[in-house]
Amino acid sequence: MIAFDEIVRFAKSRLKDDTTGHDFWHGQRVARLGQRLYQADCEKQQVRPDPETRDLIHVAGLVHDTIDEKICSDPEATLEALKHTLEHAGLTSAQEADVVMTITHMSYSKNIKQRQSLSLSGKYVQDADRLEALGAIGIARAFTYGGRVGNKIYDPEIRPVKLVSHEQYRHHESTTLNHFDEKLFHLEALMNTSSGKHLAHERTLYLKAYVARFKEEWDGTDFNPDK
């Protein structure tokens, strides 16, 4: 039996002060959504039901951002503390290795140059995390993150670019609206799992409608005095 309460305590203590969209509740949503996607694919007989895979999705979802370079000042020390917690919470060394592999290889930035291979549980966690960048919550997270790093909402003179490296992803001058073109609209094509693809499609449509509406308001074309 895994002591999930210990893992929740670890995640809460590490993520409690985050205001960039990577807080504890983001981890909990990723854990829940990842499990729901997995459950749905099991029911559609896309994958074999396995309680261990479900548990690994739950654990990795909760802690995936605790070692993120954006969140913590010392990712290596945090990873060591996390390993200790996982062991204490009752994970076997193979289960711990699965979680560590997932959370150290799943980020968007680490997958720009070359796609990293993930375990079955890792594929669901990565899809759930990417889905958190889409939909209504994804929009909120994008503008929060963009504001935090000093980016403008939109500037028609700054064009979107094609992202080719981690460095460029983190440091090029851009706007949050460009981030939709540069990253968010590409996520749907990167999904690993059947349910993840389906939900990514829905959430991307929502995002596209939002951007279209944003541009209408910017251009003034949503205003019709005759209506």
Residues near ligand ADP (CB under 6 A): 21, 70, 107-109, 129, 133, 138, 141-142, 145-146, 151, 174, 176, 179, 184
Phi, psi of 119 (to 5 degrees): -70, 175
Nearer of residues 67 and 89 to ligand ADP, judged by Cβ: 67
Give me the residue label for tokens 């990565």.
126
65 counts as binding Ni ion under rule CB under 5 A: yes
Nearer of residues 138 and 196 to ligand ADP, judged by Cβ: 138
Nearer of residues 21 and 196 to ligand ADP, judged by Cβ: 21
Contacts of 17 (CB under 8 A, 6+ apart): none
18 counts as binding Ni ion under rule CB under 5 A: no
Site map for Ni ion, 115-144, x if CB under 5 A? --------------x---------------
Q: Residue 129 Cβ, how far from ligand ADP at the closest point, in Å?
A: 6
Q: Residue 99 Cβ, how far from Ni ion at the closest point, in Å?
A: 14
Question: Using CA atoms, how far apart are residues 26 and 216, in angstroms rounded to an integer?
Answer: 31
Neighbouring C-alpha atoms within 13 Å toward the C-beta of 76: 0
Question: Using CA atoms, how far apart are residues 54 and 38, in angstroms rounded to an integer?
Answer: 7
Nearer of residues 143 and 214 to Ni ion, judged by Cβ: 143
Closest CA to 200 of 31, 37, 28: 37
Q: Residue 222 Cβ, how far from Ni ion at the closest point, in Å?
A: 33
**Angle separating helix axes 120-131 and 24-43, nearest 10 degrees:** 120
